[in-house]
Amino acid sequence: MVKISLQIKATLENIEELKPSGPEFRWYLKFTCNSCGEVSQKWNYVSSDNYTPSIPNRNSVHHLTIKCKLCSRENSTTIIENSIKSYTAEDLGKFKEIVTFDCRGITPNDFSPREGWIVKTSDGGKEFRDVDLSEGEWVEYCDKTNKAVGIYEIESNFERI
């Protein structure tokens, strides 16, 4: 069992908190097979509300089970319970762990933020739901605070725990 955390860093403008929407949130990842080194070309998603059958002879549940196209090895990933966190204005300018995965046979190597984020604006402003970060940035106007709000320069990395 290898635990790997996904960390993000972003520039937030008039935003207090950025967080995934809940158990249905889809973490879009690309993986490398630990057995043969094959790098996936397609995006796979991992979601807490999506359970796949466990690998034979094990009593566990996985959020994603995939077979390597090159070596045919079956690999899995599970989102560690209670590991999902928000990225806040206090985290600005530094990488912060936002989710941890239990990876068996694969290692995530790329992350695409896509849709499903919740953005809470600062100064008691509006909450925006189902925010799409697939363009790498997001800009809106908060009519409660009369300020522009935005998320820019999204970066991610993975760290073994």
The per-residue pLDDT for 142 is 96
Tell me the C-alpha distance between 40 and 46, whole Å: 14
The per-residue pLDDT for 60 is 73
Tell me the C-alpha distance between 47 and 111, whole Å: 14
CA distances from 19 to 22, 68, 132 (A): 9, 31, 12
On whether the CB atoms of residues 15 and 120 are closer than 8 A, the answer is yes
- Residue 89's SS3 state is helix
15-31 pLDDT, tens digit per residue, is 999 999 999 999 999 99
Strand partners, 74: 67
The structure's pTM equals 0.92
52-104 pLDDT, tens digit per residue, is 766 555 667 899 999 999 999 999 999 999 999 999 999 998 999 999 999 99
